[in-house]
Amino acid sequence: MSKTDGIQISDKPTWKHTYKELFAILGKRIISLPSKMLGFKPFCLYAATWLLINDHIRDWIWFCIVVIVLFGIVGLKVITKWKERILTDFGYGFIIGFLAAVILFLIVGGLVFVHHKNKEQNLYVGKQIEIETLHEDYSNRSVDELLEIPDVRRAADGATAEFERKRDEILHRFRNRLVD
């Protein structure tokens, strides 16, 4: 028998265990599960997931947090293992792990930036194509076809009414001047 994570597990393969031993191992794992769900790492993951669901952070930030939390424990173990020397093998591992996390963060950030830049360019190109299509559509129509469009007809009727009102006002002033 050997000890792993405070739980005594047999060295025998799983298929050689009796049902009683398998249920005992399963029971010990079930008992230890709640304590593992209350640690610092799960809290960080819960908080990051809550922030993601409530749209306080973006999905790529959540991914970076997951990577750092899942692989960051190695760095904490490195700090506890430091000895008299300035940098041990663990120190080099910690530095390389930190640099790898920074590089991963920069790569993900760069991809998100490029994606948003391309998205804006695609939106602009789409709007330009739509404008050109409408321009060609309207420039190829006759006056009668343009007047069949409800908004154009309404604008034309409004302009006609305004023109007639101003014309009548000018004629009325002109006639009044002749009478006086």
Q: Is the pLDDT of residue 78 over 70?
A: no
> What is the model's pLDDT at position 8?
54
> Which pLDDT score is estimated for 9?
60
Contact (CB, 8 A) for 59 and 68? no
- Secondary structure of residue 16 in the 3-state scheme: helix
Res 41 pLDDT > 80: no
pLDDT at position 1, please?
Answer: 45
What is the reported pLDDT for 72?
A: 65
Residue 3 β-bridge partners:
8
Least confident of 28-32, 79-83, 149-153: 79-83
User: Any idea where the domains of the chain sit in the sequence?
Assistant: 1-38, 40-140
> Residue 88: what pLDDT?
62
- The angle subtended at Cα 56 by Cα 59 and Cα 73, nearest 5°, is 60
Q: What is the pTM of this model?
A: 0.31
